[in-house]
Amino acid sequence: MTAIPGRKPAMGAHVSIAGGVATAPERGVRIGADVVQIFSKHGQRWEGKPIEPDDVHGFRAETERTGVRTVAVHCAYLINLASAKEDVRTRSLYALEDEASRAALLGIPHLVMHPGSPGDDPEEEGIARIVSALKAFGKFPAGVSLLLENTAGQGASLGKTMEQLRRMLDGAGNPPDVAVCLDSAHLFEAGHDLSNADHWAEFKDNLDRTGILPLVRMWHINDSKTGFASRVDRHEHIGRGQVGIEAFRRIVNDPVFRELPLILETPKDGADEYEMDLVNLASLRALVGTSPD
């Protein structure tokens, strides 16, 4: 391997908030993270316990003590702004507003959301609903950006191509507080072989051509249990799945992405919630500063 110069990217993982949001930074310490991502409430529920002033104080104090930054709140998975069901879209919009308010209270800069699925309806109708919801929501709280995450394309889920994300952004008028989070497993599962040098170049060109490249604010770094272009979203530990280690080497060393936080969402196996995050972060850090011969 050839050493390449450059700043080391900030790496971490999605961590639990069991015991309260203030526990997240210390969990970051336990895995040697620079940054972490959290749910601010249960990821499979519409509503959550309110964040109290003591929660905010404890969270900010722990962030200061540990030096571990929480860079994103991941929205609850129930949110579906593309749904054909009006009641689901309404609940989703209220839930998104709540998620944004919770992130603002905690001083967390990014809110990651899957764009959603129109079910059996045409793709364009789903995109139009997302656009309408983003317009209805208006501006996000100061200091909070919504990040649309690319998807594997499982079922009818939207966001599997950069062109789909572009249409959402254009339709909403390119709001300054809406940007993009890229997921390596989802890209592979949607048909991007990032371990191949030519395909990596094509992918970067596509990001540039669609205007997505300057909007990328963070990466989810995950391997995939399922095969190339499977359109089935199943995360795996780094180097143990189908993505290929060279894809991760390219991501962590690309100068365009070097300033962005890289967040693991790999499985939490066994009784020790920290064990595999430690292993996966070590695998990624071993790639930093190297390039294929």
Which contacts of 135-138 are long-range, i.e. CB under 8 A and separated by 24 or more positions? 135/172, 135/173, 136/93, 137/93, 137/96, 137/97
Instruction: State which residues form the domain around 275.
Output: 2-291
The token pair at 135 is 């317009």
The total number of structural domains that make up the chain: 1
CATH code for the domain of 41: 3.20.20.150
User: How far is the C-alpha of 160 from the C-alpha of 157, rounded, in Å?
Assistant: 7
pLDDT per residue, tens digit, the chain (293 aa), is 444 555 689 999 999 999 999 999 999 999 999 999 999 988 777 788 899 999 999 999 999 999 999 999 999 999 999 999 999 999 999 999 999 999 999 999 999 999 999 999 999 999 999 999 988 877 888 899 999 999 999 999 999 999 999 999 999 999 999 999 999 999 999 999 999 999 999 999 999 999 999 999 999 999 999 999 999 999 999 999 999 999 999 999 999 998 999 999 999 877 688 999 999 999 999 999 998 65
| pTM recorded for the entire structure | 0.94
Which residues, in sequence order, are CB contacts of 18 under 8 Å at separation 6+? none
Q: What per-residue confidence (pLDDT) applies to 6? A: 54
